[in-house]
């Protein structure tokens, strides 16, 4: 989580470019990538070595594998499941695979959470008049759950997910006593990133749930959490993200209850 702050300026520049342009990293040449990222070719090699690769080609293989996974069709993924589960019942094999991925995801999160960041985030959100929830695409179920749970516990919130195209108008209603939660994973939702910047540009504190220190949300946030979900045959669940969302939601409501009843 702290790796971002440890990198020299040029390597941080390469990291940001890599997240924004994964296809170019996967299939470009060192010369073309360096030119596009506005760095020297040697900087790309140093960047790869920083993460334990002998050279830049080793890092490219990781990006190519991720790209193949991202571009695989659901039919391809289902065929992979069938191959993986040849020795057990197909349905039980699928269940076991997803349970295993969920367990790994939650365990990873449990080791990466900084308690001080969690405490600070809970207090910041609990003190807000209204909590705005920004979550699109794969992250949408987390935002929807948080809106439901906050509502049940009488915590005022606004989910930014309209069907009439007024999301930016709702974001513009946020005031200095409000706060926001933004949730997005690579490839990051442009809407979530843009609306998060609208919030932070006006001084509204943002808590981010994302998957990398180089996520565009991490740089905007007052506090952020790294959530990396394990996958099964290319399918990713939201096990760790949902667990964190549940914890934040309940902790915010409990903080308010305690302080409301305090003398």
Give every residue of the chain whose pLDDT is below 70, as ranges. 1-6, 66-88, 261-263
pLDDT of residue 240: 94
Residue ranges of domains in the chain, CATH in brackets: 3-71 (1.10.10.10), 111-261 (3.40.50.10490)
* pLDDT tens, residue by residue, 77-119: 555 555 555 555 778 888 888 888 899 899 989 988 999 999 9
* pLDDT tens, residue by residue, 32-50: 899 988 999 999 999 988 8
Q: Is the pTM of this model over 0.75?
A: no
pLDDT of residue 27: 80
pLDDT of residue 2: 45
> CB–CB of 207/179 below 8 Å?
yes
């Amino acid at each position: 989580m702290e790796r971002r702050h440890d990198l020299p300026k040029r390597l941080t520049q390469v990291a940001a470019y890599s997240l924004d342009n994964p296809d170019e990293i996967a299939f470009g040449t060192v010369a073309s990538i360096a030119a596009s990222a506005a760095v020297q070719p040697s900087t790309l090699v140093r960047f790869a070595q920083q993460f334990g690769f002998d050279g830049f080609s080793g890092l490219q293989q990781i990006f190519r594998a991720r790209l193949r996974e991202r571009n695989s069709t659901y039919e391809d993924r289902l065929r992979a499941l069938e191959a993986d589960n040849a020795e057990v019942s197909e349905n039980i094999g699928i269940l076991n695979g997803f349970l295993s991925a969920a367990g790994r995801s939650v365990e990873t999160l449990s080791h990466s959470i900084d308690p001080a960041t969690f405490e600070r985030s809970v207090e910041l959100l609990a003190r807000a008049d209204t909590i705005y929830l920004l979550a699109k695409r794969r992250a949408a179920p987390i935002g929807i759950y948080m809106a439901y749970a906050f509502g049940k516990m009488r915590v005022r919130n606004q989910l930014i997910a309209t069907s009439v195209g007024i999301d930016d108008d709702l974001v513009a209603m946020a005031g200095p006593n409000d706060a926001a939660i933004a949730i997005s994973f690579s490839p990051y939702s442009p809407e979530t990133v843009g609306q998060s910047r609208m919030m932070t540009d006006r001084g509204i504190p943002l808590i981010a749930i994302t998957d990398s220190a180089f996520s565009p949300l991490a740089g905007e946030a007052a506090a952020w959490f790294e959530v990396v979900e394990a996958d099964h045959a290319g399918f990713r669940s939201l096990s760790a993200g949902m667990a964190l969302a549940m914890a934040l939601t309940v902790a915010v409501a409990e903080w308010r209850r305690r302080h409301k009843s305090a003398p």
